[in-house]
Each structure stands twice: as C-alpha cells, then as structure tokens.
Structure 1
C-alpha cells in the first residue's frame, strides 16, 4: 500500500471468508442477526439469562473491572461494586445481542431506538462551517452513538482490526453502513486531520491507555490516569469543535438516550496538562451518566506513576 492510498478497512466481500475455518464465525453472525431482528421486548429477557452465564465464565475480565472500580470509587462498598459489575455484564449482553440491528434494520429504526438530544450544539458548529470531534470513552453503546450521528452529519471512524478476518469485515461493514469510512489505526492523526479539513467529523476515544510515551498523568476519579493530549492540536489545526457525547440504554423503555454536550472551551485544550485534565473531566461526565455501561474490563489504568505498582496484579494468598 502506497503512502498516498487511504488506509481504510476494505469493506468488499472476499470469497476467502467462505472458507470452512470461518463456518463457526458465520454461525455466530447468523445468531447475532437473528437477535438483531428480534423485538427488544423478547431479546432483552434472553440477554438477562445469558448474562448469568457470562458472569460465571468471564473471571479475568471481571477481576480487571473490579480493580478499576475499586481504584476509581474507593468510597463504594463491596455490595455496590458487585451490583455495578452485575449491571455492567447485563448491559453488555443486551447491547451485544442487539447490535446487528444497526446493519439489518433501517435508519428509521435507528432513529426510533436512539433518542438524540443536544444536537443544537452540533448544528451551531455546522452553521459556523466547523466539523466536530466527538469525545466518548469506551461505552457499550458507542456503535449506536456513532451510526445515529452519522445519519445527521458526515463522519469517519478509526478502529483496531479484529484477529478474525470475518468478524473484522462484519464489524466494519456495520460501522460504515451509513457512509462513513473506517480507518485503520496505522493511518494515524494525519488521516483524521485530513478528514476534518474535508468537513468530516469523528469520534475520539481519550480513555485508552496508550502507554507512558507522550502521555500526561491527570486526575481521573479517585486516582490519576495516563492521557494522550492530542485533541487540542488536532481541533485547532482542523478548525473543529470538541464535544463530549454520552449514551445509555434505558431497559425500561428499551431505547437509547444519546446526548451531545456543549463544546469544551478551546482555552481548556491549550497545553498538555490542561488538555489532559479537560479530557478526563469529560470522560468522567460521560461515565457517571451511565456507570454501569462503561467497559470497565479494559485496562485503562495500566500505566502508573513511577514507583506505583500495577492495580491489575493478582493478589496471591
């Protein structure tokens, strides 16, 4: 691939994906499609039952999630942590089983399923001729948020490839179903800057721990977190506004509530330390809106200050 070729995920179907080694994956996709076609009133109770099984087998992810929750919320009791973990798994299974509806159901269905609030902030930016960098951490409903917004304005995205080529094709075909290109990670910041200049908006996920190189430690709930401060320079170079976005699944009404929050003032994004604090504050706001729907199993606190031990090491008795 030449340096001038856009590093998009290839959405074209390859006949090699019909190889027998992918048949179990095809079966899994068929099951997900069936669930995606189901009405939520039928699918959600099934998800609650399956969540019990996930809770029994997902021991390692649960240890990571518990370590994150205890570190971020030391004031919470064991009972409160356990309830958060239970609700987290339940929401994960519900949203996972429903997700194929983003591909197999209509845009009108997506509009009905995802109630959008705060879009006036986006419209103001659009009226001023500015694209938007949406700030959203890793929450279970992120795919719903991205595609719902992609109905309203041009967007692109960036994703890490899945090891399974068939799932990789399926996921990115779904993510690009409303017209947005999906970049590979190695495309880098330059590709995103180019998209901003072409009037395309995108999501930036600032909660991922990318290691100590170029990261800055900033307050994050009751601890500190290594945060990569690149959004300020990216938004300034691309003349973009930076807006946090929160989304949560309402089990009672079987709908998602998607809220675009006001733009972060540009002066808060100047300087690495200032930007890291602003990004972490935005992430905290989004998580606290639906704490049971954040991907707590991710090692978002892997990088620690010098001399501080890992929070993920198993405590052997």
Structure 2
C-alpha cells in the first residue's frame, strides 16, 4: 500500500505523464510491461492459470504469447490512467473512437444500465461514455484501500458530469438514478464473493457471478446496454464499443441472467483475448468442496 507521500508522488507522476504525447506514454507502459513479465511473479502465474482454464485447447506457445501480450497491456493501462484521468477533453476526443449501435444522445432514452466489462480499456471507455452521452449520467465504483487515491480516481472518472457512488451503497441509489432517467454505469464481471452471486459457467467452469444486474434492471424497469473499451493497435488510442440492449433481459431468473452475461463475454473475449483482465483471480471463489485454482 502506498504511503501518503508515495501517493502524492504517484499522482504527481500521472499528471506529468498526461502532458506527454499519448503514444510515448503507451510505449513506455508497453516496455515496462514486457520487462515485468520477465520476472516470475504471482500475477504472472494468475494470468497463466486463467488462460489454461479458459482455453485448454491452446498450445503452451499460444498461452505464452497471449499472457505476455496481456501483461504488457495491463501494465500499460496503469500508466495510461494519466491520460484518461488528467488529459484535456480535447485530447481525449482525438484518442477515442465511438462505435455505438444505439443513439447515445437520444433525449428519450429509457432507463438504462450501461454494463461495462473488464477489458484493459474499461477505464477509457467508462470515462468517455460520460462525454458521449452528452447528458448527466451516473456510475458505481469499487472502493480503493487508499482513500486519497480513491478521491482522485472518483473525481477523474466523474469529470464529464457523472454522479459517483460506491458499490457498497448501490441498490437504492441506482434505483433513484434510474427513476431520474440517468444512465447508470456498472461492472459485474469480477469475483466479488458469494453475496448476491450464483455459480454459472464461464468457459465451462462454475464461476461466482453477480446477479445484481438482472435484479436492478427488473426493479428499475431498465434496459441493459453492454459496452467495451478496446485498446487500438499501433498506439492509436481507444474504441468505445456500445452494443444494442439485450433482448428479453432481465428474464426474471437470476441464474439465467448471470449466464447471459457470461455468454456475452465468451463471445467477445476471443476477439481480443490479450485485452481481458486475466490478472484478476476470476475463479477465486469456488463452490463448496472444490479446491482453489490459485
């Protein structure tokens, strides 16, 4: 955990990097990721474990290639927080391409949950979708262990007009936002433990999966619109991909709705497997009696 002085230095470094050309920052992050991947670490083992579980048909060489690329993407994403948090709106406009299957500026948009997924570009996508909506929206965030860094991150993520609230305080606030016709962003594809979760398949593995999205959509009479932040090749920036609302969702059945989310991910991850957040222990919580993968 960063000390108070260390936190101030880290924030100052991010602000400094935000003044540099994006391509330079991205290349520096790429190089640092390559270097760190050469050092055996717990995170590197987690990446390999996840890839082996999800893609058992891959050769060792294929897994090694994707793991190396992902490590570079993941470390790079931390340095790119500098641009995403502190660069000007004009700079971000040049870096983010919006590819949306719905009209994000529709003033008559029904109550909407914007469901983000943990690809390495999620930060860029979540911040910029505030701007693309051209209206006040709202977002849930996962609290950090460092209060000072959390405050900076919360301000940066909401700088284009988003109301922010912690996941711990979410249900009542989300329903109020939906009644006010504010689009609400949230992510649900991480392992948050057994509470409000069920075990459904993810690449064939029983996986602890949140059920909150379907229940919030039902209670708020909201449509669910998935979106993905994609890192473009050749250091060109990002693509914010916004999909059509899921039809017949929520179904009214928590397990069916959780399966729907995981099935969507199973379609999207193979399109850019190096960009999904494999450094996370996605299979940390196991069904009773089953051993840990990690």
TM-score w.r.t. the length of structure 2 is 0.90
Alignment of 1:167-178 (within 5 A): 167-178=149-160
Tell me: CA distance 1:267–1:40, structure 2 relative to 1, closer, same or farther (3 Å).
Answer: closer
Structure 1 residue aligned with 2:119, among 139, 145, 155?
Answer: 139
What SS class does the counterpart of residue 252 from structure 1 fall into? helix
Tell me: CA distance 1:132–1:268, structure 2 relative to 1, closer, same or farther (3 Å).
Answer: closer
Separation (CA, whole Å) in 2 of partners of 1:22 and 1:306: 40
What SS class does the counterpart of residue 90 from structure 2 fall into? helix
What SS class does the counterpart of residue 244 from structure 2 fall into? coil
Q: Which moved more, 1:241-250 or 1:278-287?
A: 278-287
| 1:43-65 deviations in Å (ceiling 9; x for gaps) | 23322321133224571111122
What SS class does the counterpart of residue 208 from structure 2 fall into? strand
What does residue 237 of structure 1 align with? 219
Alignment of 1:176-191 (within 5 A): 176-191=158-173
Alignment of 1:1-317 (within 5 A): 22-57=4-39, 59-120=41-102, 122=104, 126=106, 128-153=108-133, 154-267=136-249, 269-312=251-294
Tell me: CA distance 1:291–1:186, structure 2 relative to 1, closer, same or farther (3 Å).
Answer: same
Tell me: CA distance 1:165–1:228, structure 2 relative to 1, closer, same or farther (3 Å).
Answer: closer
What SS class does the counterpart of residue 102 from structure 2 fall into? helix
What does residue 16 of structure 1 align with? none
The structure with the largest alpha-carbon Rg is: 1
Tell me: CA distance 1:77–1:27, structure 2 relative to 1, closer, same or farther (3 Å).
Answer: same
Separation (CA, whole Å) in 2 of partners of 1:217 and 1:103: 35
Separation (CA, whole Å) in 2 of partners of 1:121 and 1:287: 25
Q: Which moved more, 1:210-219 or 1:85-94?
A: 210-219
Q: Which moved more, 1:26-35 or 1:208-217?
A: 208-217
RMSD: 2.1
Separation (CA, whole Å) in 1 of partners of 2:292 and 2:30: 33
- Retained in 2: the 8 A contact 1:135–1:282? no
TM-score w.r.t. the length of structure 1 is 0.84
Separation (CA, whole Å) in 2 of partners of 1:73 and 1:115: 30
What SS class does the counterpart of residue 259 from structure 1 fall into? strand
Q: What is the CA distance between 1:115 and its match in structure 2? A: 0.3
Separation (CA, whole Å) in 2 of partners of 1:258 and 1:129: 19
How many residue pairs are counted as aligned between the two chains? 290
What SS class does the counterpart of residue 238 from structure 2 fall into? strand
- Retained in 1: the 8 A contact 2:123–2:229? no
- Retained in 1: the 8 A contact 2:29–2:76? yes
